[in-house]
Amino acid sequence: MTKKSGKKKKTSKKSRTQKIQLKKAVSGLLFLIVLVVLAGLLAHQLLLRRSSIQSLKPSVKSLADKKKVHKLPVYEIYPEKEIHYKKPITKPKPTLTKKLPKMAIIIDDIGYDRKIAEKFLNLDAVLTFSLLPHSLFQDKIARKAHEKGFEIMLHLPLEPLEYPSVDPGPGTLLTSMSPDELIIQLNKNLDAIPFIKGVNNHMGSKMTTSSTQIYQIFSILKKRNLFFIDSLTTSESLCKPSARLLQLPFAQRDVFIDHFQEPDFIRKQINLLIHIADKHGEAIGIAHPHIITYNILRELLPELQKKVQLVPASKLVHIPL
């Protein structure tokens, strides 16, 4: 074998070795690239999964908020002691037949429970429905009540002494509001409920003692030709003198009918309302959308209508003297 042929064999052997090493290097590099790609895909999937979970959180929160907004409100904060005030005794004109005294029954806090509202709407009686603004079923209930000839009021949420631990709900007018803020929110509340003829307060044991802000509220009601009925949640209420000053049609609640949800108590309160109506010629009672109130009212209606004339609340408002 010549030297040249020996060198060629060595060179070709070395070349094959280099090729093998190169292939191994390329294979290793390709394997690494595949691993990196797979790792990247896996990381991408994990990130997508995490982001999708995060994107679900606001939906869950919004559902919780929705439930919070539409839960049944606190119906009222009743005075610790029953508030009595001197109601002028009207002298009935002598007639051949004695007229029955007039009574208005306002069903407050309507708007969140459609089924119980329909039960009251189906009673064979003249009732007045006071709806909370921005409530879940306000429009449907208001339109149905209007179609049936019932009178509709705005149940205006006003700040109680217990605020913020007790929240009257959406649209509440607060004593901390500026005049502009108060008027803007009031107008939104008034515009929220269709067909309203008047307003009564939801809570408000603090706001109704603020003469300046009550005067502002009553000024807007006067412009809109609406009346106001004081639910009388505090004996310190300044609603009556404010209404007198503005010559706003006005009345005060005589009896809360169902602040204790017991059949005998509700019957007793209705009888008290009849007694006040008989003595003064008229009376206003406020009840709430409780099934027990509905049952007792349905039970007593035949006898009640023999003793009093049930009328819309607007028939019992007067310019205060």
pLDDT at 33 (0 to 100):
74
**pLDDT tens column, 171-189:** 999 999 999 999 999 999 9
Non-local CB neighbours of 283 within 8 Å, separated by 6+ positions: 101, 102, 103, 104, 254, 255, 273, 274, 276, 277, 308
Measured distance CA(125)–CA(122) in Å, rounded: 8
pLDDT at 98 (0 to 100):
74
**pLDDT tens column, 101-121:** 999 999 999 999 999 999 999
**How many residues are given for the chain?**
321
Determine if residue 113 is left, alpha or beta; phi over 0 gives left, psi from -120 to 50 gives alpha, anything else beta.
beta
Query: One digit per residue, pLDDT tens: the chain, 321 residues?
Result: 554 555 555 556 556 666 676 766 667 667 777 666 666 666 656 555 554 444 434 333 333 343 444 456 666 776 665 655 545 555 455 444 579 999 999 999 999 999 999 999 999 999 999 999 999 999 999 999 999 999 999 999 999 999 999 999 999 999 999 999 999 999 999 999 999 999 999 999 999 999 999 999 999 999 999 999 999 999 999 999 999 999 999 999 999 999 999 999 999 999 999 999 999 999 999 999 999 999 999 999 999 999 999 999 999 999 999
Measured distance CA(199)–CA(34) in Å, rounded: 74
Predicted TM-score (pTM) of the model is 0.75
DSSP per residue, 186-232: HHHHHHHSTTEEEEEEEE-TTGGG-HHHHHHHHHHHHHTT-EEEE--
Segments making up each domain of the chain, as ranges? 17-66, 102-316
How many Cα neighbours within 13 Å face the side chain of 180? 0
What percentage of residues in the chain have a pLDDT greater than 90? Answer: 69
| Tokens encoding 247 | 């010559």
| Tokens encoding 288 | 């709430």
Non-local CB neighbours of 66 within 8 Å, separated by 6+ positions: none
pLDDT at 84 (0 to 100):
52
CATH number of 102-316: 3.20.20.370
